[in-house]
Amino acid sequence: MSASTKLLSGVSKNFSYLRDLALMAFPNNCLVCARTLMSDERDICFSCIDSLPETGYQHMADNPVAQQFWGRMPFVQASAYLYVQDANITQEMIHLLKYHRKHRIGIKLGRLYGYKLSQMQPDIDLIVPVPLHVNRKRERGYNQCDYFAQGLSEVLQVPYEPDAMKRIKENISQTRRTRYDRWENVEGIFALADPDRVKGKHILLVDDVITTGATIESCASALLTGADVRVSVAAIATAGR
Ligand SMILES: [Zn+2]
């Protein structure tokens, strides 16, 4: 909890002028466009939220993300919340989340997509983020997917388990590789930390951006080594529009 949040939570509604003073001392700005937030806005302003390029894929069983996985792995549903492309708002948000420690962007996006997914009444038992390799996590200090998972978990009221899987190999750079090479490249990268933790569960596997789908495929194949496991996929973004 930040100093400003602590202070604000201790201020009675009867003393709104104190709250206003506190807000002046701790400016509350949109994490994306930096505009000052209105009192009913949190973390990301309504204008930024309105401009998010949503895919709407959660409404389509045969959406392009799901089609990517057809014939590659068994799954229940697969979708991505937003389109990402060069210099669009999604790319900017993912950059802020990944490299500038704007964790609240990840949580906010998870909550926003959680509301969309909750309307589809998914019977998810557990949310599992794609893990980073331990060296990469040490370098960055966090796994950006954990925050998206946390936001989804809050709204869907389903637990999330950041340590359900481990990344046993760090895959080398995927740029300038063919699709086939990439598929080979991520085989055997992940393993279940404890098969009992996923046994019999419908798992929502979450990632930040789906490109070739190879990472998800590799992760899902490790999850599916658990007994009676079903897998669905949700990402923050996929290429397009
Ligand atoms: Zn904004």
pLDDT for res 27: 59
State the pLDDT confidence band at 51, using cuts at 50, 70 and 90: very high
The rounded Å distance from CA 229 to ligand 1 centre is: 39
133 Cα distance to chain centroid: 17
* Cα 170 to averaged position of ligand 1 atoms, centre (Å): 35
pTM: 0.83
Instruction: Check residue 187 and give its pLDDT.
Output: 67
Residue 93 CA, ligand 1 centroid: distance in Å: 11
Domains and CATH numbers, the chain: 54-239 (3.40.50.2020)
The 10s digit of each residue's pLDDT in 183-217 is: 455 667 899 999 999 999 999 999 999 998 989 99
More confident residue, 99 or 11: 99
pLDDT at 24 exceeding the cut of 60: no
Rounded to the nearest 5 percent, the helix, strand and coil shares of the chain are 40, 15, 40
Q: Is the pLDDT of residue 16 over 60?
A: no
How confident is the model over 6-16, as a mean pLDDT? 46
Q: Which of 217, 234, 240, 221 is nearest to 78 (CA)?
A: 234
140-155 tens-digit pLDDT: 889 999 999 999 999 9
In contact, 78 and 58? CB cutoff 8 Å: no
In angstroms, rounded to a whole number, what is the distance separating the alpha carbons of residues 106 and 96? 9
Using a pLDDT cut of 70, give the percent of the chain over it.
81
Ligand 1 centre to CA of 44 (Å) is 5
Tokens representing residue 139 in the block: 């370098």
Helix (H, G, I), strand (E, B) or coil at 231: strand
Cβ contacts of residue 175 below 8 Å, gap of 6+? none
CA–centroid distance, residue 36 to ligand 1 (Å): 8
| Residue 79: φ, ψ to 5° | -160, 165
Question: Rounded distance, CA 79 to CA 66, Å?
Answer: 6
